[in-house]
Structure 1
Amino acid sequence: MTNDWSMSSHFIMFGLLMGFAIAHSGLAALRPWGEKQIGARLYRVLFALVSLPLAVVLIVYFINHRYDGVQLWNLQGIGGVATIVWILSAISFLFLYPATFNLLEVAAIQKPEVHLYETGIIRITRHPQMVGQIIWCVAHTLWLGTSFMVVTSLGLILHHLFAVWHGDRRLRLRYGESFESLKSRTSVIPFLAIWQKRQTLKLSEFLRPAYLGVAGFVLIFWWAHPLLIRATGSVGW
């Protein structure tokens, strides 16, 4: 890829990220109203039909343009960097995906509900998806070192920082004092509530299918990563 800073891919990627953020957070905000109109299951399907295609476009465009722009640094030839990136990426998935425990609700097989969790990874941070996304961005920015990756990371982190406020606001409106009580015992910053003795980490809570499933997913993704890059390369975006 060319290193021309004037390439439009940076702006296109940021625009795609903002479009996804507006659609994803907007539909989340409209969830109470939408569920009253068409039901919880159908609204979940609508949410997926909007969010998933946008996410696929983002992933494909990111992979195909990840080396665009200025090469700010190149650490790929330094021993141990690849291992650090893979370890950080694996940790990021442990935060990103067990945040949603009820897969049957995600798939709308069971009626989707809004839950107040205070177990497992929620004891570490109340917003594990935000933490996981930041770790993922740090790992991939370290590895790629391009201005395009920096722009992508900034867009993703800004979205997830907004989601912290937005998510807390929606839970407060729905649960009131129950959420405020949970908030007092948890923290956004990882391990802060545990360090302040407002929370206790229980390792036994991590022995559940959601976490084992993510560990298996990381191994499969590690194996399929080269295949994914080659597949997206055939898309002319």
Structure 2
Amino acid sequence: MLGLILTFAITHSGLAALRIWAESKIGERLYRVLFALVSIPLAVVLFIFYFNHRYDGVQLWNLQGVTGIHEFVLGLSAIAFLFLYPATFNLGEVAAIQKPQVHLFETGITRISRHPQLIGMTLWCIAHTLWLGTSFALTTAIALVSYHSFAVWHGDHRLFKRHGDAFLALKERTSVVPFLAISQGRQQLVLKEFIRPAYIGVAITVVLFRWLHPIVITASANLNW
């Protein structure tokens, strides 16, 4: 599992580091398509392996029979998805329908945290590790959060290279730690910004994925990886 995460990390962050150079050679849309064609299959393999081996290793704890734990894990996972997926707002750019660009986002979820994917992945890891209680799940969680923490630094570095002082000003108004900038008066929460297709789509996806979750696990097990 650590090998899969390391492979994904090197590939994903490596391609991100090459973005400016690659876009100058092949254009923004083709770069986006190649980035997705490499990153998505690696992520799918990683999560299939996680599903199939989630109970491997030593059972460190078992809280699945404790009242309220199931509901807590479900709720925390739902919140995790709300942080994970609206991090990129323009779905047209993600799909390369529109010309992909690097934005300085400061609306919606990015007012709460400048790097919502780190927060979402951390919450997802906490929820699933709490539920599974295995050394495999704990090791995976530590590795995933460690990579996303590196990605925070790497992402900020790339944004500074591209946007310079504009990014530094944004950095002063935002925080990585959720709600920190808001509590310090450097940022404000604008609730109407959450009324947009990206958030509504994620909310629907959370409900659908809860329904599909056992189907996905069964399908993964059939691959016998």
**Pair in the same fold by TM > 0.5:** yes
Query: In structure 1, how many angstroms separate the alpha carbons of the residues matched to 2:32 and 2:3?
Result: 25
Query: In structure 1, how many angstroms separate the alpha carbons of the residues matched to 2:124 and 2:170?
Result: 27
Query: In structure 1, how many angstroms separate the alpha carbons of the residues matched to 2:158 and 2:109?
Result: 20
Structure-1 residue corresponding to 2:120: 132
Structure-2 residue corresponding to 1:111: 99
Query: In structure 1, how many angstroms separate the alpha carbons of the residues matched to 2:204 and 2:35?
Result: 26
Deviation at 1:22, TM superposition (A): 0.4
Other structure's SS at 1:221 match: helix
The one of 125, 135, 158 aligned to 1:170: 158
User: What are the residue-to-residue correspondences of 1:60-139 with 2, within 5 Å?
Assistant: 60-139=48-127
Deviation at 1:133, TM superposition (A): 0.4
Matched, 1:51 2:39: yes
Query: In structure 1, how many angstroms separate the alpha carbons of the residues matched to 2:25 and 2:83?
Result: 33
AA aligned to 2:150 is: F
Structure-2 residue corresponding to 1:142: 130
Deviation at 1:192, TM superposition (A): 0.4
Q: Deviations over 1:25-84 (max 9, x none)?
A: 000000000000100000011101110110111011000000000000000011110000
The one of 12, 15, 37 aligned to 2:3: 15
Q: Deviations over 1:98-150 (max 9, x none)?
A: 00111111111111000011110111000000000000000001000000001
Other structure's SS at 2:223 match: coil
**What TM-score do the two structures reach when normalised by structure 2?**
0.99
The one of 173, 191, 197 aligned to 1:203: 191
Deviation at 1:15, TM superposition (A): 0.6
AA aligned to 1:210 is: A
AA aligned to 2:133 is: G
Query: In structure 1, how many angstroms separate the alpha carbons of the residues matched to 2:124 and 2:167?
Result: 28
Structure-1 residue corresponding to 2:14: 26
Other structure's SS at 1:234 match: helix
The number of aligned residues is 225
Query: In structure 2, how many angstroms separate the alpha carbons of the residues matched to 1:162 and 1:236?
Result: 31
AA aligned to 2:67 is: G
AA aligned to 2:31 is: Y
AA aligned to 1:165 is: W
Unaligned runs of 5+ in 2: none
Structure-2 residue corresponding to 1:189: 177
Deviation at 1:236, TM superposition (A): 1.5
AA aligned to 1:85 is: V
AA aligned to 2:102 is: V
Structure-2 residue corresponding to 1:228: 216
Deviation at 1:177, TM superposition (A): 0.5
Other structure's SS at 2:200 match: helix
Deviation at 1:151, TM superposition (A): 0.8
- Following TM superposition, the consecutive aligned residue runs of length 4 or more in structure 1 with deviations greater than 3 angstroms are none
Structure-2 residue corresponding to 1:9: none
